Amino acid sequence: MPPATLQAPAHITVLLRESVDALITDPAGTYVDGTFGRGGHTRLLLSRLDPQARVFGFDRDPQAIESARQLAAEDARFTPIHEPFSSMERELAARGLAQVTGVLLDLGVSSPQIDTPERGFSFRFDAPLDMRMDTTRGMTAADWLNTAAQEDIREIIHAYGEERFAARIAAAIAARRAVQPITRTGELAQIVAGAVKTREKGQDPATRTFQALRIFINRELEELEQVLMQAQRMIRPQGRLAVISFHSLEDRIVKQFLAPPRADASLRHLPVRGEVAGAARWADLARIKPGEAEVSANPRSRSAVLRVATRTEAAAPEAQ
């Protein structure tokens, strides 16, 4: 078997063995790690696979891709792809692949991104307000905050941050930028702290706003919806989908996606409602949370939820 070094990644990989164990159905198969990060899942996956297996790793982050290229130099079974996972179907088709054995997605932001001040993801550091997962393209959080309509800011913070003080925060942002542009994380955290008068114990006032902006700037929920539909078309019957999410918005999308199709309410008077709904495309396999030992060793894992499902024989809808 080609070597697959299990050196420690730059951050602690959440639900590492649980997700890889659940994903593998064929040791000689073809797998996709849609969120390479620093390669924790990919390295373990490669160590469990046969010499003829293949693994493709997607990531938007240039630093993550640099790490992925180093792994590719060590193990010829692995191919890194510097693209968002929503491009999975297109990128794999360009490499001659129409089906894969399994897809793993570890959603959200990685520890290296959070803990690198200049990336602008965290309110714990005063740094440029960037928040892009791919620093080579797209609009920064500062660019958007200084040009967006106040109502749009309110809507994004409320929808993606589930922030009940979104209107106050948006008004405070609009008032500050009228005086001078908001360019740093420290400024934004200060503005939010002044607008949010109460917060859950142990949670910084800026937590929900920073989450909302990160999700919006990187189109995280739209990307997730797109990749789930592509995985449904690409994963072969009896293959697996494993998704690790870290907040309720992500998990809700995954849960609803894996749920059996519902009958059309307008046809409820017909005698065979179940057949109208069509066959389920996923067989729910597991919902796994980190154990006490993992949460103790890595507090950032406490909100993680792993959902695993097996692809059935039911036909997937064609791409639009």
pLDDT for 214-249, tens place per residue?
999 999 999 999 999 999 999 999 999 999 999 899
Task: Tell me the mean pLDDT in the region 55-77.
Answer: 95
Measure the CA–CA gap between 98 and 230, rounded to whole angstroms: 11
pLDDT for 98-154, tens place per residue?
999 999 999 976 555 555 555 655 666 689 999 898 888 899 999 999 999 999 999
pLDDT for 83-95, tens place per residue?
999 999 999 999 9
- Residue 174 has a pLDDT of 98
Task: Tell me the mean pLDDT in the region 6-14.
Answer: 58
- Residue 320 has a pLDDT of 63
Q: In what order do the strands lie in the sheet with 54-58?
A: 78-81, 54-58, 30-33, 100-106, 235-245, 305-311, 282-288
Which amino acid type is present at position 108?
G
Per the prediction, the chain carries an average pLDDT of: 87
Q: Taking 90 as the threshold, does the pLDDT of residue 38 lie above it?
A: no
Q: Taking 50 as the threshold, does the pLDDT of residue 37 lie above it?
A: yes
- Residue 271 has a pLDDT of 42
Rounded to a whole number of angstroms, the distance between the first and last alpha carbons of the chain is 40
φ, ψ of residue 100 in degrees (nearest 5): -135, 165
DSSP tally for the chain: helices H, then strands E: 14, 7
Which two three-digit tokens encode residue 74?
């060590």
List of residues 6+ apart from 181 with CB closer than 8 A: 142, 146
Binding residues: 39-41, 59, 85, 106, 113
- Residue 123 has a pLDDT of 61
Measure the CA–CA gap between 206 and 129, rounded to whole angstroms: 13
- Residue 9 has a pLDDT of 39
Domains in the chain, ordered, with CATH? 16-111+220-311 (3.40.50.150), 135-217 (1.10.150.170)
Which two three-digit tokens encode residue 9?
């990644």
Higher pLDDT, 206 or 105: 105
Helices 166-179 and 185-195 pack at an angle, to 10 degrees, of 130
- Residue 294 has a pLDDT of 93
Helix H or strand E segment including 309 = strand 305-311
pLDDT for 245-296, tens place per residue?
998 999 999 999 999 887 554 444 444 333 344 578 999 889 999 999 999 9
Higher pLDDT, 43 or 8: 43
pLDDT for 166-186, tens place per residue?
999 999 999 999 999 999 999
What share of the chain in percent tops pLDDT 70?
84
What's the pLDDT band for 306 if we cut at 50, 70, 90?
Answer: very high
Beta-carbon count within 10 A of 297 CB: 11
- Residue 273 has a pLDDT of 39
List of residues 6+ apart from 80 with CB closer than 8 A: 36, 56, 57, 59, 65, 68, 69, 71, 72
Binding residues for S-adenosyl-L-methionine: 39-41, 59, 85, 106, 113
Model confidence, pTM? 0.86
Higher pLDDT, 202 or 49: 49
Helices (H), 116-200: 141-145, 150-161, 166-179, 185-195
The two beta strands, 235-245 and 282-288, are unpaired
